[in-house]
Amino acid sequence: MKKILIIGDLSNSEKNLSDYLSEEYQVQLCTKQLDNIQAMTGILKPDLAVLSHLEEPGDQPILDWLHEKHKKLPVLVIVGNKDAQQHKELFEQEQFNKLAPPITKTSVQNKCRQILKTGNVSRYTSDKKKILIVDDTPVMLRNLKAMLDHTYDIVLATSGRQALDTILQEQPDLVLLDYEMPEMNGREVFETMLADEEMQHIPVVFLTGVSDRKAVFSILQSKPAGYILKPADHEKLLSTVQEVLGKH
């Protein structure tokens, strides 16, 4: 059985990680004190180290020691969305892998399986189709989730940038994508997906509050799998989702 060393503050986050991974691996928790990490690494001889919640500058000595003394030990670093950009050079090194929010049981397990090559990721996923809902309005996210989560596995994102990270991690079967969002709107997200080989096959249904004919025509020109006017009608939402998933 592969062994994983989880390095963190032993809070609920680390305990959740342990619960997610102990189904398939031998897991050991360890505090962030460098001498504890050195001792536990020598005792456990892990196949993977997981650093929970990258913190600056306190975690740098840990990263430096792992890179200097254990270059062959893969390290999974759990980061925030901003951290992933700030520490770009770190993740250019083959040893270090990143996992950004949302941190779910599925995303953690699949990332570890990918790194450790412990099996086909897809065989561990749910039989339910997975839908990513993207909207910058929390009330809308809750309402749409409530309409769908009895039938589908639901993943949520509140921005275009977060949506792209989530798509790569979760590989949903369908994306329900808010067309009008700040910073990065739905059309920009969709165009980014179409340009990426890992995402271009995933169907997108736009969510839009705009109902005039000219605006709808503009939306359809980008050739999504469909569109739904907000606030979404329950029956219309379900029928659209079923139709799109049936075609793909």
Q: What is the mean pLDDT of the chain?
A: 86
pLDDT-derived band at 212, boundaries 50, 70, 90: low
Cβ atoms < 10 Å from Cβ of 165 = 18
Q: Is residue 90 within 8 Å of 77, Cβ to Cβ? A: yes
**Is the pLDDT score of 97 beyond 70?**
yes
Say if 3-121 and 126-247 have the same CATH topology. Answer: yes
Mean pLDDT of 62-90: 83
| Residue with token string 């169907």 | 203
Tokens of 126: 């749910």
Tokens of 203: 């169907």
So what's the pLDDT on residue 170?
83
Alpha-helix runs per DSSP H in the chain: 12-21, 34-44, 60-69, 81-86, 88-91, 105-116, 138-148, 160-170, 186-194, 213-221, 234-247
Residue 233 CB contacts under 8 Å (≥ 6 apart), including other chains? none
Mean pLDDT of 105-117: 90
Lowest mean pLDDT among 4-13, 80-89, 102-111: 80-89
Mean pLDDT of 216-222: 66
**Is the pLDDT score of 64 beyond 90?**
yes
Q: Is residue 139 within 8 Å of 158, Cβ to Cβ? A: no
- Rounded to the nearest angstrom, the gap between the alpha carbon of residue 107 and the centroid of all alpha carbons in its chain is 6
So what's the pLDDT on residue 122?
47
Relative to beta strand 3-7, strand 26-30 is parallel
Does domain 3-121 fall under CATH 3.40.50.2300? My reply is yes
This prediction has a pTM of 0.51
Could you read off the pLDDT of 158-170 as tens digits, one per residue?
889 999 988 988 8
Q: Quick one: which of 238, 230, 235, 214 has its CA closest to 181?
A: 230
So what's the pLDDT on residue 85?
55
Percent of the chain with pLDDT over 70: 88
So what's the pLDDT on residue 214?
60
Output phi, psi for 81, to 5 deg: -60, -40
So what's the pLDDT on residue 123?
44
Q: For the domain 126-247, what is the CATH superfamily, name and number?
A: Response regulator (3.40.50.2300)
Q: Can you tell me the distance from the alpha carbon of 91 to that of 18, in angstroms, rounded to the nearest whole number?
A: 23
Rg of the chain over CA atoms, in angstroms? 20
Q: Is the peptide bond before 231 cis (omega within 30 degrees of 0)?
A: yes
> Where do the domains of the chain lie?
3-121, 126-247
**Is the pLDDT score of 121 beyond 60?**
no
Q: Which of 53-57, 214-218, 235-239 has the highest mean pLDDT?
A: 235-239
Q: Can you tell me the distance from the alpha carbon of 29 to that of 79, in angstroms, rounded to the nearest whole number?
A: 18
First to last CA, the chain: 37
Q: Quick one: which of 169, 129, 123 has its CA closest to 149?
A: 129
